[in-house]
Amino acid sequence: MTIREFPPGFLWGAAAAAYQIEGAVHADGRTPSIWDTFVTVPGAILHGDTADVACEHYERMPQDVALMKRLGLASYRFSLAWPRVCPDGGALNPAGLDFYRRLTDELLDTGITPFPTLYHWDLPQALEDRGGWTNRDTAYRFLDYAMAVHDALGDRIDSWTTLNEPWCSAFMGYTGGGHAPGRQEGVAGVVAAHHLLLGHGLFVDAFRGRGGTADRGKTVGITLNPTVADPFDPSREEDVDAARRLDGFHNRVFLDPLFHGKYPDDLESDTDGMLFDAKPWQDFVLDGDLELISRPLDFLGVNFYHGDVPAALPYDAQPGELLGSRIEHSSRPRQSPYPGAGMVFPRTGRPTTDRDWEIDPVAFTRLLVRLKDVYDAPPVYITENGVMACDVVEDGAVHDTARQRFIEQHLHAMLDAMDRGVDVRGYFVWSFMDNFEWSYGFAHRFGLVHVDYDTQVRTPKDSALWFSRLAAQNRLPVA
């Protein structure tokens, strides 16, 4: 049997995010985030689930870290809840910060490398009340919060990720409305994206100012969820244009300012005449912003689940032909997250996951190679990859073969990119355990570990045991 080896020291881990697992939404001075508000909006979350309790990780953290240790994870990617650390987006709350101090210590004591993200979508509601990410001031409030965390934990934490998937925060939050804060305000998504990037750049600048450099073992990066956009019908001009727009509003709107110091030209033409607060989005980009945003990074985090194959509207879809039509959704109406661009996603015939996402590992390889070739991206960590499955516990076990298969296929695709010169340093499964999957609530299970939400019993799935062996061996057999 052929074996593919990973580089020595390759970082194997699993990821989670504060709001999805912690619960304890009122504990120790935490105030509401935009997600605490959004879950109360009728129809916003499937089955009306809320994350008030979630996985009770706030109380069960030491046992959860012990389980990570048993599973042999070398690293744990978690996020800090801004409204715990700086309630209402204001002054530092030592009791809230203390949770992350204990978590960090617990991880280090057990030999697990902490890999924190400063912002995984839980903006303090008080800041949203003042305009949220469409208000430039939010970027400066983020800087204050992030530096407070850095100054408290920076001696023990080596790698910092500023934002998780700002595309979702900006375009699902302010254009499409499927995510908190649920605003459907067209080009507001681009304004929000700019302020998110500004917050990122402000932190990178301050971090470097505190002596944070790779040669001192201190690194900083950002996690994006870039996609590969292919036209559904390459011979149809409108589909080719839909793929270009999707690439612009999803990938290049972040990659170009981060790595080339400018916004793409076609983003400007695609949003021509669209106003937010009576102004074009370019008016929100002030002198010096792009210099901050394009400060060199030590790593790029990549979250990958699927590629995208859009067809332009009008498109006459047959029942069941569009992706997502086989799963139950929350009922609140959404807009396209791509301002002014109507498109749909017909099935291409590839196999799909239980969430009705098409499985396309080749797109993962193509994406990673593009990041190197076009953007000369810094070293990459795969900060999320994984699969939703309708897992059930039978006789104390979960036989989630589809998850193992999915991860295996994507690891091979990642290795293919590495063979082509892409410098990938680590891989985190999404997710460590089943959790609150945003607008899908608890119905969508992504964990290596099954969570029984009635009893809070954790059951490692077969994939967890397999992943643990893989991480220990640092190599993958070729099937």
Interface with ligand FCB (CB under 6 A): 17, 20, 164-165, 168, 225, 303, 384, 430, 437-438, 446
Confirm if 261 and 267 have CB atoms less than 8 A apart.
no
Q: Is the Cβ of residue 99 or residue 440 nearer to ligand FCB in the bound state?
A: 440
Which residues are bridge partners to 76 per DSSP? 14, 114
CA distance 173 to 171: 5
CB-CB neighbours of 395 under 10 Å: 5
The number of residues in the chain equals 479
Q: Tell me, letter by letter, the H, E, C secondary structure of 100-124.
A: HHHHHHHHHHHCCEECCEEECCCCE
165 part of the active site: yes
For residue 325, report the phi and psi dihedrals to the nearest 5 degrees.
Answer: -75, -10
CB atoms within 10 A of CB 1: 5
Nearest distance in Å: CB 370, ligand FCB: 20
- Count CB neighbours of 469 within 10 A: 10
Distance between CA atoms of residues 247 and 370, nearest Å: 12
Q: What CA dihedral angle connects 206, 422, 108 and 148, to 10 degrees?
A: 20
Q: Are 233 and 265 in contact (CB under 8 A)?
A: no
Are 302 and 380 in contact by the 8 Å Cβ rule? The answer is: yes
Q: Smallest distance from the beta carbon of 342 to ligand FCB, in angstroms? A: 23
CB of 383 to ligand FCB, least distance (A): 8
**Catalytic one of 165, 358, 408, 437:** 165
Tell me if 58 sits within 8 A of 29, measured CB to CB. no
**Closer residue to ligand FCB, CB minimum distance, 53 or 214:** 53
The single-letter code of the amino acid at 394 is E
**384 carries an active-site annotation:** yes
Judged by beta carbon, residue 172 or residue 471, the one nearer ligand FCB is: 172
Alpha helices, H only, 248-388: 253-260, 265-270, 289-293, 361-375
Burial of 129 (0-12, 13-18, 19+ CB in 10 A): middle
Are the beta carbons of 191 and 220 closer than 8 angstroms? no
User: Of 22, 128, 384, 408, which residue is the catalytic one?
Assistant: 384
**Enzyme catalytic residues:** 165, 384
